[in-house]
Chains A and B, each alone.
Chain A
Amino acid sequence: MAGKVKWVTDIEKSVLINNFEKRGWVQVTENEDWNFYWMSVQTIRNVFSVETGYRLSDDQIVNHFPNHYELTRKDLMVKNIKRYRKELEKEGSPLAGKDESGKYLYLDFVPVTYMLPADYNLFVEEFRKSPSSTWIMKPCGKAQGKGIFLINKLSQIKKWSRDSKTSSFVSQSNKEAYVISLYINNPLLIGGRKFDLRLYVLVSTYRPLRCYMYKLGFCRFCTVKYTPSTSELDNMFVHLTNVAIQKHGEDYNHIHGGKWTVSNLRLYLESTRGKEVTSKLFDEIHWIIVQSLKAVAPVMNNDKHCFECYGYDIIIDDKLKPWLIEVNASPSLTSSTANDRILKYNLINDTLNIAVPNGEIPDCKWNKSPPKEVLGNYEILYDEELAQGDGADRELRSRQGQSLGPRAGRSRDSGRAVLTTWK
């Protein structure tokens, strides 16, 4: 069928619309017959909710998985990762190995986190072990840095105590649920400033897991110098790197937007720290992304009509260890600078090339295996089908440090997972 793809969106962003129009696709409304719907997270909830009984046909695809929140809600992500670790431990998998202090060797990539108010008592126990630590409170369902604050005293979160007589809110309501995580107060600083990494990961299917990493991620810098001093705990310009927050700072610059490319970061780290530790860092980053996806894969509704492009937020500490902070289902498509606009435009372009091959009317029955040429700026991060062909024990061997060859970080075989040393 050589018909034109019909698209709908409820997100009015030029980087999206320009991409649709350049493919000659036709815009329709959601009540008509559509092939491609780029929807916001609210809409996906309605589409797949039990009440509406919406049935997607074979020539319709959408940009979210029905229960993406298993990965993208802060509390569920942590829950799934904890469950995944326990499962591996029960199986006796070497991946779940621990060190002398009981910390996971390979799977310790999420800062210690508790759900509030459910885990309040557990949290207090942990807090008392290191009373000088700082913790970060994040509302489960919000984004863009909204509602986040730092605490270093128990009194600051008395509200969430289950025994609290003054607790007046309905603790069962999802909206008021918070997670509290150990704050990473030793982030890697460059030029004295804190930054985090935003990486884009496209998942076309969870079972078998097939995911792609966008090569052009970026670092978001705070405009103010970092200080762990307690007097600045309230200054969100020091601590939160979200552009939505930073762009209201006095020093926000609209030309570069406080952003660096990941390749700049790489150059800087290689020049000042050396190539091995830099390669190891990037390897670890890829590892934690894949592990997080593997953790939610069993509970994810692997609907064949779906694909999803996630925004991963990662912080690197001063020992060059990466930490997974959160995963966003609806990464911002707003552009803060000219470079930004180009990057996001290309991101959507490459995403569409993979999700809707040849720009033709989709057929959900296809095997979701795009040829290498259409990847654009994406690289295969992990392909479970290919990996299984290689034998699972390679996975552990490289994790334990035996390199697979002179270029452990970059495999040269075409079509293989380019970014992983482990299969």
Chain B
Amino acid sequence: MLQEESDLSLIIAQIVQKLKGSNLYSQLERQAWASLQRPEIKLESLKEDIKEFFKISGWEKKLQNAVYSELSVFPLPSHPAAPPEHLKEPLVYMRKAQGSWEKRILKSLNSMCTELSIPLARKRPVGEQKELLNKWNEMGTDEPDLSLFRPVYAPKDFLEVLINLRNPNYENGDSLSFRTHLGLIQVPLKVKDIPELKECFVELGLNIGQLGIDDSTQVPPELFENEHVRIGQKVLAEQDSAAAQQYIRQGSPTALRAELWALILNISSQPEDVLYYEQLKTNVIQHDLLVDSLIYKDVKLTASNDDYYFVFEDYLYQVLLCFSRDTSVLSHFAYNSASPPKSYIRGKLGLEEYAVFYPPNGVIPFHGFSMYVAPLCFLYHEPSKLYQIFREMYVRFFFRLHSISSHPSGIVSLCLLFETLLQTYLPQLFYHLREIGAQPLRISFKWMVRAFSGYLATDQLLLLWDRILGYNSLEILAVLAAAVFAFRAVNLMEVTSLAAAEAVLADLSTLKKT
């Protein structure tokens, strides 16, 4: 009892601390002061009256949403004496692996920089600044010579690192057989099995209505869809984050989705947010970063060639270039096992006073990174709002897909979950694929790293991301990946090579996520 109480007060203290520095706090203060003018506020019962006022005017709801948002994002403190690294990642061997992976990436970036003799960052001359400002809405038409740039890494490079992860304290003397894990990932992490998954994802059960299935033309709308839409509108009217998160587990109606996601992520476009985005834009205009070219190249290679997203090419530049310069993103490294790479001012290598984070937001984009943003363009067409939503999605979910950690939503756990599900429930298929040299994870890894963006039709993808938001977890990606294999199992049993297996699974666009 005592432990729980002290845990709770610790959490409360932490959240209060965080919120005190936020915009909401000053707004609440101002509202409280202004409310003193109101006739219903009496000196004798000042505290209760103000609280009542907050409740009626909707400010209490906003505060509630903010608290809920913090709870969703920040991990619970484990032990008061735990050092900050533990918050990032409790297991030492994982931290070490992440550290060496980061060194590799940075080395690759630096050597590209030296090879091409391009500085990591430089200030743009005034003429160039003006030009860029004019072209801000159509950067896609720019055709810089990107042939010498290569993406810093691709998902398959990352997979190799994960395959070689080992826990030094774990000695599995057994030879590989069906009693051990036959997949590529060989670390002993706890993942959920089907009964646990069923319990966790109870709203996805067969007896509960879902959008994406129960709103198809064959099903009369009175059965589920109409009621579901009505509830959605009510949730939006109430502006309740937690309710929205619960609601969206059954899928979001297309017309309500943009607002629901903003509510769940606790994003409201305040003037300060627009200003902040404009400030980032100015940073882009004034300075040119090497990663900008990486971003350009990535967009040109991926989103520009995509049937659904090519239309939004220019939005992608506007979001990603600003994202690289956003130092507020650095705060998520407190709970991300990764750490932002450091670079040194020219000539001052090793001197800490001259160290800066590079890129300013600490995130080095890899091949396919722009696909995290692309689906959001279907929902938001105002650049600063699009930006905010993407940033929040990144610091809540996407970062876990490309950093090494033991978190249940981290990519390592997702891979293990996928392989375990497949090995347990489709052993014949798993064995067959392994025999022909087509380990299933080699095929599904890229789907999960990109959260299926670019692999599913957009309407299906958005339904999938509804569930990620609803359950505040990425485990559903692994479950979907396993389900895809199950769905195509018959064809897969007949293939005899990795290439053929890839071909069978190449086109997921017709799959309806059920």
Q: Are A267 and B378 in contact (CB under 8 A)?
A: yes
* Cβ-based interface call for A253 (8 A): yes
Q: Judge whether A264 and B308 touch: CB under 8 Å.
A: yes
Q: A225-B141, A267-B459 are in contact. Are A407 and B311 (CB under 8 A)?
A: no
Q: Is the CB of A253 within 8 A of B138?
A: no
Query: Which chain B residues numbered 263 to 307 have a C-beta less than 8 Å away from chain A?
Result: 304-307
List B residues 31-83 near A (Cβ within 8 Å).
none
Contacts A/B (CB < 8 Å), 30 sampled: A191-B311, A191-B312, A191-B314, A191-B315, A191-B377, A221-B311, A224-B141, A251-B140, A251-B141, A253-B304, A253-B310, A256-B305, A256-B306, A256-B307, A258-B310, A260-B307, A260-B308, A263-B459, A267-B254, A268-B378, A270-B254, A271-B257, A271-B258, A271-B378, A272-B258, A275-B253, A278-B255, A339-B307, A406-B222, A407-B221
Most buried by B among A225, A253, A272, A275: A272
A225 near B138 with CB under 8 A, answer yes
Task: Report if B381 contacts A (CB, 8 A).
Answer: yes
Complex CA gap A224/B314 in Å reads 11
Q: How far is the CA of A60 from the CA of B179 in the complex (A)?
A: 70
The residue among A190, A267, A410 with the most chain B CB atoms within 10 A of its own CB is A267
Q: Can you list, as one digit per residue, whether each of A215-239 has a CB less than 8 Å from chain B (1) or not (0)?
A: 0000001001100000000000000
The reply to whether A191 and B217 form a contact with Cβ atoms under 8 Å apart is no
**Set of chain A residues within 8 Å of B222, measured between Cβ atoms:** 406
Number of residue pairs spanning A and B whose beta carbons lie under 8 angstroms apart: 68
Taking the complex as formed, is A412 at the interface, i.e. its CB lies under 8 A from any CB of chain B?
Answer: yes
B305 touches A253 (CB 8 A): yes
Taking the nearest CB of chain B, how far is it from the CB of A239, in angstroms? Answer: 16
Map CB proximity to A onto B485-507 as digits: 1 under 8 Å, 0 otherwise. Answer: 00000000000000000000000
Contacts of B314 in A (CB 8 A): 191-192, 225
Interface residue count on the A side (C-beta < 8 Å): 30
- Tell me whether B220 is interfacial, beta carbon within 8 Å: yes
Q: How far is the CB of A123 from chain B (nearest CB, A)?
A: 34
Q: A271-B254, A272-B381 are in contact. Are A410 and B305 (CB under 8 A)?
A: no
B313 interfacial contact with A, CB 8 Å: yes
In angstroms, Cα B312 to Cα A272, docked, is 14
State in angstroms the CA–CA spacing of A230 and B311 once bound together: 24
| Cα distance A190–B462 in the bound complex, in angstroms | 19
Interface residue? B458 (CB, 8 A): yes
Select from chain B the residue with minimum beta-carbon distance to A279. B255
Interface size class of B (residues with CB under 8 A): 20 to 34
Is B15 at the interface (CB under 8 A from chain A)? no
- What residues on A are CB-neighbors of B312 within 8 Å? 191
**Residues of A at under 8 Å CB distance from B?**
190-193, 221, 224-225, 250-251, 253, 255-256, 258-260, 263-264, 267-268, 270-272, 274-275, 278, 339, 406-407, 410, 412
**Contact residues in B for A221 (Cβ distance below 8 Å):** 311
Known A267-B459, A271-B379; judge A260-B141 contact (CB<8 A). no
Question: Which B-chain residue is minimally distant from A190 (CB atoms)?
Answer: B311
Contacts of B253 on A, CB cut-off 8 Å?
A: 275
User: B257: which A residues are within 8 A, CB to CB?
Assistant: 271
Give chain B residues whose Cβ lies under 8 Å from the Cβ of A250. Answer: 143
Q: Are A270 and B141 in contact (CB under 8 A)?
A: no
Give B310's nearest chain A residue, CB to CB: A256
Q: Which of B181-231 contact A (CB under 8 A)?
A: 217, 220-222, 226
Q: Which 8 A-B pairs have the closest CB atoms?
A: A191-B311, A275-B255, A270-B254, A225-B138, A256-B307, A191-B312, A255-B305, A274-B255
Residues of A within 8 A of B137 (CB): 192, 225
CB nearest to B254 among chain A residues: A270
How far, in whole Å, are A339 and B307 apart by their CA atoms in the complex? 9
Residue of A nearest to B459 (CB): A267
Assembly CA distance A407 to B254 (angstroms): 16
The chain B residue sitting closest to A257, CB to CB, is: B307
- The CA-CA distance from A278 to B220 in the complex, in Å, is 20
Contact A410:B217 (CB < 8 A) given known A256-B305, A264-B458, A272-B381: yes
In whole angstroms, how far apart are the Cα atoms of A62 and B223 in the complex?
46
Complex Cα distance, B143 from A256, in Å, reads: 19
- How many Å from the CB of B17 to the closest CB on chain A? 37
Asked if B379 contacts A406 (CB within 8 A), the reply is no
Q: When chains A and B are docked, how far (Å) is the Cα of A256 from the Cα of B305?
A: 7
Nearest CB of chain B from residue A320's CB, rounded to whole Å = 14
Report chain B residues within 8 Å CB of A255. Answer: 305, 307
In the assembled complex, the CB of B220 is this many whole angstroms from the nearest CB of chain A, namely 7
The smallest beta-carbon distance between A117 and chain B, in angstroms, is 39
Q: Do A271 and B255 touch (CB < 8 A)? A: yes
Give the docked Cα–Cα distance between A6 and B255 (Å). Answer: 50
B138 x A192 contact (CB < 8 A): yes
Which A residues are in CB contact (< 8 Å) with B255?
Answer: 270-271, 274-275, 278
Pick the residue among A224, A225, A259, A275 that contacts B254 (CB under 8 A).
A275
Closest B-chain residue to A337, C-beta based? Answer: B307
Chain B's closest residue to A410 (CB) is: B217
Known A253-B304, A256-B305, A406-B226; judge A191-B313 contact (CB<8 A): yes
Contact residues of B between 104 and 147, Cβ < 8 Å to A: 137-138, 140-141, 143
Residues on B with beta carbons closer than 8 Å to the beta carbon of A272: 258, 378-381
Q: Which A residues are CB-close (under 8 A) to B313?
A: 191
Which of B253, B311, B379 has the most chain A CB atoms closer than 10 A to its own CB?
B311
Cβ of B463 to closest chain A Cβ, rounded Å: 11
- B377 surroundings in chain A (CB, below 8 A): 191
| B contact residues around A407 at 8 Å (CB) | 221
Contacts of B462 in A (CB 8 A): 271
Give the CA-CA distance A264 to B308 in the complex, in Å: 7
Contacts of A339 in B (CB 8 A): 307
Nearest A residue to B382 via CB reads A272
Most chain A CB inside 10 Å of its own CB: which residue of B254, B306, B379: B254
CB neighbours (8 Å) of A271 from chain B are 254-255, 257-258, 378-379, 462
Instruction: Report chain B residues within 8 Å CB of A253.
Output: 304-305, 310
Docked complex Cα distance between A270 and B378 (Å): 9
**Minimum CB distance partner of A254 in chain B:** B305
Residue of A whose beta carbon sits closest to that of B222:
A406
